[in-house]
Structure 1
Amino acid sequence: MKILIVSDTHRRDGNLQEVIERTAPFDMLIHLGDAEGSEDRIAAWCREQNADCEVHMILGNNDFFSSLEREKEISIGNYKAFLCHGHFYSVSVGYERLVDEARDRGAQIAMFGHTHKPCLDMRKGITVLNPGSLSFPRQDGRRPSYMLMEIDREGEAHYTVNYL
């Protein structure tokens, strides 16, 4: 199983469209907020490359007129993942509140956006990840980033941070 994880595209969708074409086919897309009205277009692009593609999107702090959910819990293979944008968990100053929330929900993975900086870490037994931003990256070098998650035949998750 192959999962494309993105965040903070802020309606500047050219890089996202390129990444979708470059990484296709994949089984699931997770967008961790701040699509800013591009939700239907993004879902259509994913389903063009795979009609059965699962699409999960959540609300970001700039998704003012969206009806997306603020948070989600989803299953990915044998894992339970907690998805949020992160701004309600103060991720700009640390991951402690996010990790505690994921643990309270019984999740093994906590995914967030908001900081525009890629992150892949293990905290208190929880995999914490942020794909960064494809539109407005803020990490050193400021390269647009996204993440791929792959579940192997044994059910183990593997993650890669990728850059344009």
Structure 2
Amino acid sequence: MKVLIMSDSHGLTHEINLIKERHRDEVEAMIHCGDSELPMTTTEMEGFLAVRGNCDYDKTYPDERFEEINGLRFFITHGHLYNVKMTLMNLGYKSEESNAKIVCFGHSHIAGSELVDDKIFINPGSIRQPRGTHDKTYTILEDVAGETKVTFFDLEGNEIKSLTQTYHLQ
């Protein structure tokens, strides 16, 4: 099972379509962690499990969502309501309450993933304004029999090996 995850595209349309087209036939789901700055009804946002970020003005986006994808429970939020620039603890508490194993968020524009208390926290970074790197990033999560690989890509579709990680969930 593969899931495409992006965040903080801040008005980009061509780039979203490029990434969607590139991975269309290989992913079962697509997640956008907010700050698309696009209405939910645009063709660019079609097919995304999307949430509202602090720069999104379309109030039809939910602030958070919980999704079951091929047996894995996801907690998806932008992060601004959980103080993610300071700590992941608030996201951890919410994911514990909801039994989520995968936590997807954005807001800080800093790409990375980590395993904490048997939960994988993923920030796909930003395809518009990355921080901490020059690479504009998104990610694909691949889960096969409890082995979960989080692969980061640049805008051109090249793997960023220094960010890519494999985790084992219990």
3-state SS of 1:41 partner? coil
Indicate whether 1:103 and 2:96 are aligned: yes
3-state SS of 1:93 partner? coil
Distance 2:38 2:70 in 1: 29
Distance 2:10 2:43 in 1: 13
Answer yes or no: is the 8 Å Cα contact 1:117–1:132 preserved in 2.
yes
**Match for residue 4 of structure 1?**
4
Q: Which AA in structure 1 matches 2:38?
A: G
- TM normalised by structure 2 equals 0.83
Pick closer, same or farther for the CA change 1:12–1:43 going to 2, 3 Å. Answer: closer
Per-residue deviation, residues 11-46 of structure 1 (Å, max 9, x unmatched): 1122222222222212211000011125322244x5
Structure 2 unaligned blocks of 5 or more: 156-170
Answer yes or no: is the 8 Å Cα contact 2:82–2:91 preserved in 1.
yes
Pick closer, same or farther for the CA change 1:124–1:151 going to 2, 3 Å. Answer: closer
Q: Measure how far apart 1:99 and its partner are.
A: 0.9
**Match for residue 67 of structure 1?**
60
Structure 1 unaligned blocks of 5 or more: 47-54
**Match for residue 42 of structure 1?**
44
Answer yes or no: is the 8 Å Cα contact 1:133–1:144 preserved in 2.
yes
Q: CA RMSD in A?
A: 1.6
Pick closer, same or farther for the CA change 1:41–1:66 going to 2, 3 Å. Answer: farther
Q: Measure how far apart 1:155 and its partner are.
A: 5.7
Q: Which AA in structure 2 matches 1:23?
A: H
Answer yes or no: is the 8 Å Cα contact 1:36–1:63 preserved in 2.
yes
Distance 2:109 2:136 in 1: 9
Per-residue deviation, residues 36-88 of structure 1 (Å, max 9, x unmatched): 125322244x5xxxxxxxx3000100112331111000012121111000011
3-state SS of 2:44 partner? helix
Distance 2:60 2:24 in 1: 27
Distance 1:127 1:63 in 2: 25
**Match for residue 73 of structure 2?**
80
Identity rate of aligned residues, in percent?
Answer: 29
**Match for residue 49 of structure 1?**
none
Distance 2:93 2:152 in 1: 24
Q: Measure how far apart 1:139 and its partner are.
A: 1.8
Answer yes or no: is the 8 Å Cα contact 1:77–1:155 preserved in 2.
no
**Match for residue 113 of structure 1?**
106
For residue 148 of structure 1, the aligned residue among 140, 143, 147 is 140
Q: Which AA in structure 2 matches 1:107?
A: A
